[in-house]
């Protein structure tokens, strides 16, 4: 939760800086974001090489398909932990930056500055258009409400509607698909998804063979929370209604400057499952974290869409496969919230 609070502060300040023209803070925050992006890219490439090595062993018959899947899952979990640890090291810079901003130590730019777009032959993309390149990158953060669906019905009686949340952060590439038109873009990247549900009526999850059931807990729980963490590859077709600017009979393309919406999906693997229980006993407070597979599906895939203006969008995602592998009642995760795509 501390990590997400820090990221949210960063994003809010980025949004404010864009509105009032305070570029100094934005440039420093962007540098920190680039460090996080570099960490993610490096670990992603390392994971790719490790997976390729496993595929070679599988093709040579040295390991079975089951062993290969198990090793890939273990490697993905390890890389996810490494990413979180390395990102944590960058947070000190972010903390200092935010404190400087709050303390007024970072110089503010003149918000009345007038920006003029000029043609510069040295700053053209490969299509000959000034402005953003045909492929750009964004730092993505999303948060909101989380719950499950079963037989087409929202399970808000089983899980707290307000207390269940989701978080997502990652990086995406945004590629303009047409040379002379800014409408269609392919958006793809890598994200970590955190899906949390909070059972109601003093219940928690209990494993019974291949079934994972909600059962009444023997102690009076202050909090019951069930979390799944996924490493996913999201892909969207984005419609961006930002109009090109024409100057000297040349078109200048920008993105995320107007209304836009995207539709697509995601697929990935489960890297962590745990249940968090908090309770009191004789004026003492206890917190128990129980890690395990809980019969959760190792893989995840689903549909997602967003619609918004500039950097902020309303975001919805729905898992097409159920949370638990063999439960008699199939519950699929559904999320609704806000999404920030920061160039």
Per-residue model confidence (pLDDT) at position 128? 42
**Residue whose tokens read 């908090």:** 278
Q: What is the pLDDT of residues 50-63, one digit of tens each?
A: 888 888 888 888 88
Report whether 335 contacts 161 (CB < 8 A): no
**Which of 112-126, 130-144, 168-182, 188-202 is predicted with the least confidence, judged by mean pLDDT?**
112-126
Per-residue model confidence (pLDDT) at position 130? 46
Backbone angles phi, psi at 265, to 5 degrees: -165, -170
Q: What is the pLDDT of residues 276-322, one digit of tens each?
A: 999 888 778 888 888 889 999 999 999 999 999 999 999 999 999 99
Confidence of residue 216 (pLDDT cuts 50, 70, 90): very high
Report whether 338 contacts 309 (CB < 8 A): no
Burial of 65 (0-12, 13-18, 19+ CB in 10 A): exposed
Per-residue model confidence (pLDDT) at position 59? 87
Q: What is the pLDDT of residues 98-118, one digit of tens each?
A: 666 655 655 544 433 333 333
Per-residue model confidence (pLDDT) at position 236? 95
Judge whether residue 253 has pLDDT over 60: yes
Whole-prediction pTM value? 0.61
């Amino acid at each position: 939760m501390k990590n997400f609070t820090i990221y949210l502060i960063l994003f809010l300040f980025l949004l404010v800086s864009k509105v009032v023209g305070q570029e100094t803070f934005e440039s420093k925050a962007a540098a920190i974001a680039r460090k996080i992006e570099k960490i993610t890219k490096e670990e992603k490439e390392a994971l790719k090489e490790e997976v390729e090595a496993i595929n070679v062993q599988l093709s040579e018959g040295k390991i079975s398909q089951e062993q290969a899947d198990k090793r890939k899952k273990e490697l993905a979990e390890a890389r996810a932990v490494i990413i979180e640890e390395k990102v944590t090291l960058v947070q000190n810079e972010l903390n200092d930056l935010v404190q400087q901003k709050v303390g007024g130590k970072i110089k503010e730019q003149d918000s009345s500055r007038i920006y003029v777009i000029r043609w510069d032959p040295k700053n053209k993309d490969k299509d000959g258009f000034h402005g953003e390149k045909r492929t750009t990158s964004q730092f993505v953060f999303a948060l909101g409400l989380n719950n499950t669906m079963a037989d087409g019905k929202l399970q808000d009686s089983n899980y707290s509607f307000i207390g269940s949340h989701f978080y997502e952060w990652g990086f995406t590439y945004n590629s303009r698909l047409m040379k002379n038109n800014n409408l269609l873009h392919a958006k793809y990247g890598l994200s970590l998804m955190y899906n949390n549900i909070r059972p109601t009526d003093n219940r928690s999850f209990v494993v019974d063979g291949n079934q994972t059931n909600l059962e009444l807990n023997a102690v009076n729980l202050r909090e019951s929370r069930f979390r799944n963490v996924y490493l996913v590859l999201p892909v969207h077709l984005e419609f961006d209604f930002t109009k090109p600017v024409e100057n000297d009979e040349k078109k200048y393309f920008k993105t995320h400057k107007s209304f836009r919406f995207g539709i697509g999906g995601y697929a990935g693997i489960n890297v962590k499952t745990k249940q968090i229980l908090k309770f009191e006993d004789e004026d003492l407070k206890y917190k128990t974290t129980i890690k395990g597979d809980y019969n959760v599906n190792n893989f995840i895939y689903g549909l997602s869409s967003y619609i918004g203006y500039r950097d902020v969008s309303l975001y919805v995602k729905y898992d097409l496969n159920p949370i638990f592998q063999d439960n008699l009642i199939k519950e699929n995760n559904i999320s609704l919230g806000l999404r920030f795509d920061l160039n």
